[in-house]
Amino acid sequence: QVQFVESGGGLVQPGGSLRLSCVASGFTFSNYYMSWYRQAPGKERDLVASTSAGGFTVYADSVKGRFTVSRDNARSTVYLQMNDLKPEDTAVYYCKRTNRPDSWGLGTQVTVSS
């Protein structure tokens, strides 16, 4: 069974940083692109960043230069380092295999507020 467990969220002031982690299970992690998504209240879930098995990365324009996605294939874990956080980054963050019909995990809440 494919599963994703996200962690690392919290409350942070504008300009602060957080590092999210997502542990995946139920498939051969190193064979797949992995992505982070986020959903703010009242909005659709959007793609934030993706990484290939070999470390190729892409980012949404809104987070370029502030967020960094990385992965540890040995630990089946994908990370999202978020710096210079802004109130508009407030959302529940999820990870999943890119373009696969996986079920969503519970996500991790990120709140950016002073």
Distance CA 33, CA 56 (A): 9
Q: For residue 1, name the pLDDT band (cuts at 50, 70, 90).
A: very high
Residue whose tokens read 């710096």? 83
User: Per residue, what are the HEC states of 18-52?
Assistant: EEEEEEEECCCHHHCCEEEEEECCCCCEEEEEEEC
pLDDT single digits (tens) 8-64 = 999 999 999 999 999 999 999 999 999 999 999 999 999 999 999 888 999 999 999
Does residue 103 surpass a pLDDT of 90? Answer: yes
In the prediction, which pLDDT does 54 show? 86
Nearest Cα to Cα of residue 8 among 114, 105, 99:
105
For the residues 66-90, what does the mean pLDDT come to? 97
